[in-house]
């Protein structure tokens, strides 16, 4: 290998390393955003009054069953 091809390979390696860093940081930011969204969704509770069968058929997220309904 001559010096020119070594320089080209070095520059290509540097560019690939920079691209990997950018992609990893973007994925980490996306992951944090997704985690915040899921945390917000899963921490939202609905207080309901219904029979046991009615409560089990609700599709509104986490449901707190009224006392004595189980």
Which sequence spans correspond to the domains of the chain? 3-64
Please tell me the pTM assigned to this model.
0.48
Residues 14-66 pLDDT 10s:
999 999 999 999 998 898 888 888 887 777 665 656 666 666 666 655 555 55
Please report the DSSP string for the chain in residue order.
Answer: --HHHHHHHHHHHHHHHHHHHHHHHHHHHHHHHHHHHHHHHHT-EEE----HHHHHH--SSEEEPPTT--
């Amino acid at each position: 290998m001559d010096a020119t091809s070594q320089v080209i390979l070095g520059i290509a390696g540097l560019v690939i390393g920079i691209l990997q860093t950018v992609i990893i940081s973007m994925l980490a930011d996306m992951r944090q955003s997704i985690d915040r969204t899921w945390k917000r969704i899963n921490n939202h509770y609905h207080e309901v009054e219904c029979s046991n069968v009615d409560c089990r058929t609700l599709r509104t997220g986490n449901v707190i069953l009224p006392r004595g309904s189980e």
